Amino acid sequence: MATKKTSRVLEPQQQRSRDTVDRLLAATVKALDQDGLEGAVVPKIAALAGVAPASIYRRFPDKDALLREAFLHMLRSSNTGNREHLRTMLLRDTLEGSAAQLMELLFAQYRRHPRLMRALMRFLESEGASEFANEVRLHIAENIEQVVEVLQAFREEVRHRFPRRALQFAVLSAAGAIESFALEPVSLWQTVLPMSDRQFQAEQARSFVAYLRQP
């Protein structure tokens, strides 16, 4: 299947214009965080950015182009922050402690920003096999790899034949389960095995460690 091309925004040349674009991207992320995809309308975004709605269309071909750039801006910022602080935020003295902390961090992003995370997932689904969707997945993959790199500190405790692959599998499995539990109000987790957030985090941490230590 061919990759669908998406319209890209040219980098503004003047500092004043760059500042306006930065405000618009921040305002778009804030609108998505507050009201989700449906609530991120141009008048609200413009008001949050302190500009006229017409200013948006002078810089972006349409609202979807603005949303794409805002999501990518958010993911780039997240990865930059992780490169600087993830080891301190995640790494604990033991594998068990680090696994519990990982579940806490994963859960926090969904519980603090549920509308924003749902908006990203829904928008990504609507984009299909586009350049934007591929770029988003690359940023998410980078985030996962940063976590794996930090957890390499416990490489000697991983009993799998391929320790890095095992860490990748464990992190991806935990992230997928937490995304489903946190963002889908009626998922199989709630139907088959209802539990509190804390209980779910604890079980995910146990499963994470048990898998890595399984010969």
pLDDT of residue 129: 80
Give 118-155 as a DSSP string.
HHHHHHHHHH-SBHHHHHHHHHHHHHHHHHHHHHGGGG
Tell me if 115 sits within 8 A of 31, measured CB to CB. Answer: no
pLDDT of residue 186: 82
Quick check: 111 pLDDT over 60?
Answer: yes
162 belongs to a structural domain: yes
pLDDT of residue 1: 44
49 belongs to a structural domain: no
178 belongs to a structural domain: yes
What gap in Å lies between CA 153 and CA 129, rounded to an integer?
A: 36
Quick check: 148 pLDDT over 60?
Answer: yes
What gap in Å lies between CA 67 and CA 29, rounded to an integer?
A: 8
What gap in Å lies between CA 149 and CA 72, rounded to an integer?
A: 22
151 belongs to a structural domain: yes
What gap in Å lies between CA 34 and CA 58, rounded to an integer?
A: 25
* Confidence category of residue 13, pLDDT binned at 50, 70, 90: low
Give the chain's domain count: 1
Average pLDDT, the chain: 91
129 belongs to a structural domain: yes
* Amino acid letter, 210: A
Higher pLDDT pick, 206 / 185? 206
With pLDDT > 70 as the criterion, what percentage of the chain qualifies?
93
16 belongs to a structural domain: no
Residue listed under structure tokens 């921040």 = 26
What gap in Å lies between CA 12 and CA 35, rounded to an integer?
A: 28
* Confidence category of residue 187, pLDDT binned at 50, 70, 90: confident
Q: What is the pLDDT of residues 65-87, one digit of tens each?
A: 999 999 999 999 999 998 889 99
Q: Residue 174 is part of which domain span?
A: 70-213
pLDDT of residue 184: 87
Quick check: 205 pLDDT over 80?
Answer: yes
Question: Residue range 150-167: average pLDDT?
Answer: 96
150 belongs to a structural domain: yes
155 belongs to a structural domain: yes
Q: How far apart are the first and last CA of the chain?
A: 39
